[in-house]
Each structure stands twice: as structure tokens, then as C-alpha cells.
Amino acid sequence: MVRITVDTVTVHGVGRSLADAAPRGVGTVGSDAGGCVDDPRLTQACREFEAIFIETVFKSARAGLPKDGLFSSHEQEIVSGMLDAEMARAMSQGRGIGLAEFIRSDIMGREKRVKTNAAR
């Protein structure tokens, strides 16, 4: 049996290190976009979608690896899947890859245009 331990501080540090690499004050998720009121549920939904997207990218990348070898087993695949999910979640809670910010700003921009057109 192979036993794997994951340092959660390191996993959560991935999201923070990506957040530190991005410039400050440039349209972060959760900032006010175009005068529309920010909904924390929208921000959270965008982050969760980004986490799902990142996890899918990790799974696709891992699928390209050889399946035979010393450490290949069903248990290893389960642990790798859990690690991918946790890393994706940690990354999306920081600045992520920008997908959540893009989706949120697009939705907020559409909402602003709808409100502007409705006021006419």
C-alpha cells in the first residue's frame, strides 16, 4: 500500500502565490464593476466554476500520463483526483487564472447594459 500525505499549507499556498503574482488593483473578483452592486453569490459561483474548469484541466493533463509504472494503482488515481480538486479549489480562492473575474465582469457588464436599456 502506498501512503501519500499532502501538505495543505502548500496546496493553499498555490492560490496565494498566484494572487501575489498578479498586479494589485486591477479588476479583482469582488470589486465593483461599472457601478453595479456586487453580489457575493455571483462572485462565489464564478470562483466555483473556475475551480471546476481548473480541475478539468488537471484531469485532462493527468490523463495524458502513462498508466503503468511503480506508483500506478486505483488508489493512486483516487488520491490524484482529490489532490487535483483541492489544488483547483485553492487556486480559485486566490486570484485564480482570471476566468472567474472575466465571467463576473461579463455578467455585470450585461446587467448594466440591460438596466441602461430598461431605463430608456
Q: Which pLDDT score, from 0 to 100, does residue 87 have?
A: 94
Asked if the model's pLDDT at residue 82 lies above 90, the reply is yes
Q: Under 8 Å CB-to-CB from 86, ≥6 apart: which residues?
A: 6, 8, 11
- Other CB atoms closer than 10 Å to residue 37's CB: what's the count? 8
Q: Is the pTM of this model over 0.75?
A: no
DSSP designation for 70: T
pLDDT digits (tens, 9 = 90+) for 18-67: 444 343 333 444 444 444 567 899 999 999 999 999 999 999 998 888 87
SS3 at position 88: helix
